[in-house]
Structure 1
């Protein structure tokens, strides 16, 4: 059966998005401990592009397939893992980019869902927290995707998220999603 990307987020309710996110089947890469290892000669740039031996991987289906085999190792490195082989992969920043966002509700009742550059869907919640590193010059939020893998929020998505936080005007400053509060440090 050929891959069909999920519908546009704007056409779905957050409960429909959450159901689709739960139905995404991913291989159990954290359970696999292959004996054979090597270098994939692949890299994920900070802009989300995937490269093999310096050349872009231009087929979205290939990127999607590889992204399901991605695992964060205990030492912080990344690997593509199958039951038979583990190949290192260089990741410049975060392996995914949140390219679209949908929000329902306000304040404590807000729920926020994201579409990644791989078409995977993630609802921000206690298992998939948003973090806003304060130690960087330009604010750059991240979303926990799965098992130590994060998505960086694309600039337009971050601006949209900031508008919701400003509209909610909570003290402390931040956002709720699916019953979890995510504080945002205001620039000084």
Structure 2
């Protein structure tokens, strides 16, 4: 059975490195589905650094909005799909005035039905800090929290990463 998983953690927690190891261990034809968009020079540098670090181990697919469709399409050629990351995807949806609840419902339905490839979803846990001081940041934090709950409910495995260490929140222990 194909087991989808959610990997959560804070900034620079090691979540992407963990997810990459998990994906590489899970399949021989991995795809890296990137949701980031280049908005400034700093983001361009981050994206270039991520691509360089992955090297040729992953096929890279870039899709900032239509995540469910990209997963289904990637599953035609790949046996594991690493999605990095849900919080950037939510930002893209928010900035494009998309219906986030519908998009998250579509993603969850896709994950329930889609078993052609393992899906490893990475996301930033943003709800552990202080309450943001502005309405948009509070809305984003709330959307991320509710999205994480909905996605975690349909994933087989959920991991929380801190200091590069994985805590299994749901499902199987990861292979090191």
TM over 0.5: no
State the TM-score, normalizing by the size of structure 2: 0.22
State the TM-score, normalizing by the size of structure 1: 0.21
Greater relative contact order structure (CA < 8 Å, 6+ sep): 2
Which structure: larger Rg? 1
Q: Which has the higher strand share?
A: 1
